[in-house]
Each structure stands twice: as structure tokens, then as C-alpha cells.
Amino acid sequence: MSDVRTRLGSIDEFRGFAILLMVLADYLEGSAVVPGWLKHAPDVGLTEADIVAPLFILAIGLTFGLSWRGRQARVGTNKTVQHFIVRYLALVGIGAVLTVLGDLSGVVVDQSNWGLLQAIGVAGLITLVFIGLPARVRWLAGVVVLAGYQILLDRIWLADVLQSTHGGLMGALSWGAMMVLATVLGDLFHDEPRRKWFPDVSVGVLLIGLALALVVPVSKHRVSASYVLITLGGSGLVFWLFHLLDRRFGWTVPVLKVWGRNPLILYVLHGLMLGIFTVPNAPGWYVQAPAWLVVIQAVLMVGTLSAIGWLLDKKGLTFAL
């Protein structure tokens, strides 16, 4: 197997890992029996669930530059820009539909009408502004955007951001900064002579985030600058582990590749499956369900979506924007 295929295989697995965790986190969030450290922190704090979205942001960043340059070489800059605009606006639209359906069904009640796909969509549009810049300039741009968001958050946006999920439209600026920085990590990884520095840079980003946490609270709810840097650096190390296991030991998890090749459709389908557990107004079925039932339901959801993913992969079907 060529190095390119190995590299892309590890990215598929990493992306699949992120989506699988997102699905589980969404399901577990509403269960009373699940401990708090497996759910999102309500405001200041950091839990295992809080790193899930950054994992996916990094997965996007790992391929954003490659996809941009490849399409630009084939069809030119104008058509490439149009393609990416349509892609990320479509994510915003799909996210809006899912949010409205969630509100109407009671699966997810969100007064801000803002979900993860909307945040990712706007972040992608922000990243599109900078993707043509050299990596070092792009890194500086990401830092400036992140710093600007944190200043605005502290001075005028905090109350509004706290009333929204994923930071709302304003928080998308911080998610966008994270994605811009993730594309720089992606370029570093794909630059084979310099790839060895990828884990060191990831550790550096993590340490800067930890130092910043002394003055800026770590909060996914606020999408604070310290949260962005800590989780981006940590996500980089998680991906590097996938890469090392794949390259050095040939260790792979095929089911994660299946999830990674069709992340959007599986994520959308998981929202529909959540209704099976959350819509029926039966005591003890979901919110107050015992641990054994929570495990069965989680396994059923993951197993069903994995089976759908396997079928799509077997037929060579990929749903991508």
C-alpha cells in the first residue's frame, strides 16, 4: 500500500472515530444515568464529550487544503470557490432543517435554533477566506481571528453566546479559527519531509492552550480560545496515534473507515434514530432508563448505523457535499 493510501486510510478512520463519538455523545447527553464527565460541561470545564467536535474539525482540516488545491488545479479558482461555498452553505441548511425537526419532535429542544452542522458550515466559509494563503500566514490569521473572538466574547458577546448552543452564530467565528488552524496542521502532515514535526506542534498548541487557561476559562459552551487550543492540540495527538498505528503496525479498524467514508449521511440518520428513544413519552424508556437499557439502545444505534455504513461502502456509495 502506498504512503498516500495509508495516510488517507488513517484520516478515514480518524474521521469515523469522530463521527461515532459524536453520535454516542448526542445519545448519552439526555440520559440521567450517564455520569456528567461523559456529557458536555454546562459552561466552564472540560469533559471527554467536549473534545468530540474538535476531533471532527481537525478531520476536516486534514483534507481541506488537499481538496482545495486538487479541485483548483482541475477546474480553476472561481469554480472551486463556488463549490466550497455551496458545500458549506448546504451544511448550514441541513443543520437548520435538523434543528427545526428536532424542536418539533422534541428530540432536541434548542431555542437558539443553532446546531453543530450550522457551526461547521459557517466555520468552513470562514476558512475558505484564508485557505489560499501560505500556511504561516494562515496560522497567523487563525490566531488573530481567535483572539478577536475572545476579546469580543469577554466584552460584549458573553451573555448571547451563553444562551446559544455551540456558541451560536458568534461562536462560529471561534470554530472558524479552529478550522483555519486545523488546515495548517493538515498541510504540515501532508508535507512528508516535515511531517515528523506534527506531534510536536500539536503538543505545543496544547501547552499554549493550557497556559492560556490560567486567564481564559476553558469552555466549549463559550468556544473560548483556551478551549480551542487545548482541544485542537489534543485532537492532533489523537490523530497522530491513528497514523502511527496504521503506518507502523498496519493496525486498522475497518468499521471506523466505514463511518469515515460516509460521515454526513450517518450523522443525519443518527438524528432520525434519536427520535426512537426520545419521542415516546414513556417513563424509564430514555431519560430515566436504567444503565442496562441505555447500553442496549446505544449498541442498537451504533450497530444499525454501522450496518448501513457497511452496505453503502460495499455498494461503493458515498454521500458527500
Query: Would you call 299 exposed, middle or buried from its count of C-beta atoms within 10 A (0-12, 13-18, 19+)?
Result: exposed
Say if residue 104's pLDDT is above 70.
no
Assess contact for 305 and 273: CB atoms under 8 A.
Answer: yes
Binning pLDDT at 50, 70 and 90, where does residue 102 land? low
What is the average per-residue pLDDT within 214-227? 97
pLDDT value of residue 259: 95
Average pLDDT over residues 141-164: 96
Q: Tell me what the mean pLDDT of segment 139-161 comes to.
A: 97
For the segment 8-34, the average pLDDT, to the nearest whole number, is 92
Q: Per residue in 252-277, pLDDT tens?
A: 899 999 999 999 999 999 988 888 88
Q: Which residues contact 147 (CB under 8 A, 6 or more apart)?
A: 225
Would you state the pLDDT for residue 87? 94
Q: Give me the pLDDT at residue 192, please.
A: 92
Alpha-carbon span 169 to 222, nearest angstrom: 12
Looking up cell 476553558 gives 218
Helix axes 3-29, 263-278, angle to 10 degrees: 20
* Interatomic CA distance for residues 277 and 274, integer angstroms: 5
Averaged pLDDT for residues 168-173: 94
Residue 194 vs residue 104, higher pLDDT: 194
Dist. CA 245–CA 6, nearest whole Å: 10
* pTM: predicted TM-score of the whole model, two decimal places: 0.92
Mean of the per-residue pLDDT values for the chain? 91
- Report the alpha-carbon distance of residue 67 to residue 89 in Å, rounded: 17
Domain boundaries, the chain: 3-314
Closest-CA residue to 174 (of 138, 210, 136, 148): 148
